[in-house]
Amino acid sequence: MRILMLPLVLALSACSLTPPLVKPQAPVPTVFPDAAAPEVATGHAADLGWRAMFGDPRLQHLIALALEHNRDLRLAALNVEAVQALFRIQRAARLPGVGVEASATRERTVATTVGGTSSPSAVQEQLSVGLGLSAFEIDLFGRVRALSDAAFARYLASEQGRRATQIALVGAVADAYFAERLAQEQRQLAEHTLADWRQSLTLARLLRQADQSSGLDVAQAEGQVATAEADLEARQRAQARARNALALLVGTALPTELPAPLALDAQPLLTRLPAGLPSDLLARRPDILQAEQALVAANADIGAARAAFFPRLSLTASLGYASPSLGGLFDADQRTWRFAPQITQPLFQGGHLRAELRLAEVRKSAAIAEYERAIQTAFREVADGLAGSATFGRQRDAQYRAVASAERRAELSSLRYRAGLEGRLELLDAQRQLYAARQTLLDLRRDEISNMVALYKALGGGLADASPVAAGAALTAPRIE
């Protein structure tokens, strides 16, 4: 009969003191500022696979390697497994733990004399076997369930953290790859410029030997060459560091059989990414979902802290057999049982329980603030990316015109210098301006690509390597060619 009462007691343990969770309104506008109309009718950037976003075969190979070997992503995956194990441990507390108990004792009693009656020494044996239920807490006020819910929410948060790490990794590898491409092209430009300026120095020395120029022209040309040599060393150092950063992100030595890289000007990147509305970020961004689950866990902790003020009922029970001999251990008259419920009610703990409840409430308030901050950060990142998409194209076109103008000036200055119509100083200034304009164009191109990578990452892209069929058909915007 008492065993039949156990399910009834468990059914009564349905009371919960966890407050209802009301998520705050998103503290951002309903639309992104300066968001131009997308060039595609449907789809969302988060549905765009990273192979479709990054068309460079070399970069695709590096991202695949990073997803397999990167240590940060591996640690994030291990953290998910650890938090999952913690959740299973906490969930197990909601179920009774039943164990088989078997014991055997053998003892010798000493001879005693009581009231003139002597009792000789004897050897006694006791054998027992049974099923035992040890200190199982009947969750009358939902404390154990609240702790289990909090553990489950933290497990979901850790999984979203792993997804956020993957998105960050894909974006970081792309950024490092384009930085390495920029460093190499800047080094190549520095090498080409240095070769031209060395030829100019040779010409200046020949003209000096023919008494057609002064030593000032030679000194100016030598200074120009020395400056270019110093800049070339800096570019080589930057390229080496960029390659080292890329190798660290990939997590393994860069293979030698990688596909040939594409130049920055030939990178096939989308010029427009469909951003949707800020409300879409709540379901697309893993970091926001992670903060949301952290809020759920903090709210459940309040329920556990509240339940700690109320009585706690635990149950210990056993059912089995006990006998002084092994042969008669399982006889019907050797059956034993034990039922020992225990209830405890906190009376005075020096404010410990109130402090725990206050701590849980403060942590929930902090979780709300972190959730709102995650939304605001995501909104700002998308808004920055959209602002860049709206302006980089025009800036790039203007810089192309500036480079063309600097090339014409340098060509005309060279012709005028050779004809003796202007001095060496004007030619040096024109060459330096051309070199600076070309370097600026490379930097601008790198910044434009970096902005597209950041926008793709801010919209939640990078989790899938391939786009869904429907989304892939829609996400066919023009690319930066």
For residue 114, name the pLDDT band (cuts at 50, 70, 90). low
pLDDT of residue 116: 63
* Distance separating alpha carbons of residues 21 and 113, to the nearest angstrom: 72
pLDDT in tens, 253-312: 888 888 998 888 888 887 678 888 888 888 889 999 999 999 999 999 999 999 889 888
pLDDT of residue 69: 92
Distances (CA, A) of 390 to 10, 106, 385, 386: 62, 88, 9, 6
* Distance separating alpha carbons of residues 222 and 305, to the nearest angstrom: 77
Residue 1 confidence (pLDDT) above 70 = no
Contacts (Cβ under 8 Å, ≥6 apart) of 451: 384, 385, 388, 389, 392
Q: What is the DSSP string of 90-137?
A: HHHTTS--EEEEEEEEEEEEPPEEETTEEE--EEEEEEEEEEEEEEEE
pLDDT of residue 275: 81
For residue 470, name the pLDDT band (cuts at 50, 70, 90). very low
Choice between 471 and 48, residue whose per-residue pLDDT is larger: 48
pLDDT in tens, 163-194: 999 999 999 999 999 999 999 999 999 999 89
pLDDT of residue 319: 85
pTM over cut 0.85: no
Three-state SS for 275? coil
Choice between 217 and 379, residue whose per-residue pLDDT is larger: 379
For residue 360, name the pLDDT band (cuts at 50, 70, 90). very high
**Is 141:39 a contact under the CB 8 Å cutoff?**
no
Residue 397 confidence (pLDDT) above 60 = yes
For residue 4, name the pLDDT band (cuts at 50, 70, 90). very low
pLDDT of residue 41: 39
Residue 245 confidence (pLDDT) above 60 = yes
Nearest Cα to 238, choosing from 457, 450, 442, 435?
A: 442
For residue 479, name the pLDDT band (cuts at 50, 70, 90). low
pLDDT of residue 42: 55
Q: What is the percent of the chain where pLDDT is above 90?
A: 42
pLDDT in tens, 125-143: 777 787 887 778 888 888 8
137: β partners: 314
For residue 68, name the pLDDT band (cuts at 50, 70, 90). very high
For residue 151, name the pLDDT band (cuts at 50, 70, 90). very high
pLDDT of residue 409: 92
pLDDT in tens, 431-467: 889 999 999 999 999 999 999 999 999 999 898 888 7
pLDDT in tens, 415-441: 887 777 777 778 888 888 999 999 999
pLDDT in tens, 195-232: 988 888 888 888 778 776 677 878 888 888 998 999 99
- The mean of the pLDDT values for the chain is 84
User: Would you kindly state where each structural domain of the chain is located, as residue ranges?
Assistant: 26-94+142-310+362-476
Q: Is CATH 2.30.30.240 what the domain over 26-94+142-310+362-476 is classified as, yes or no?
A: no
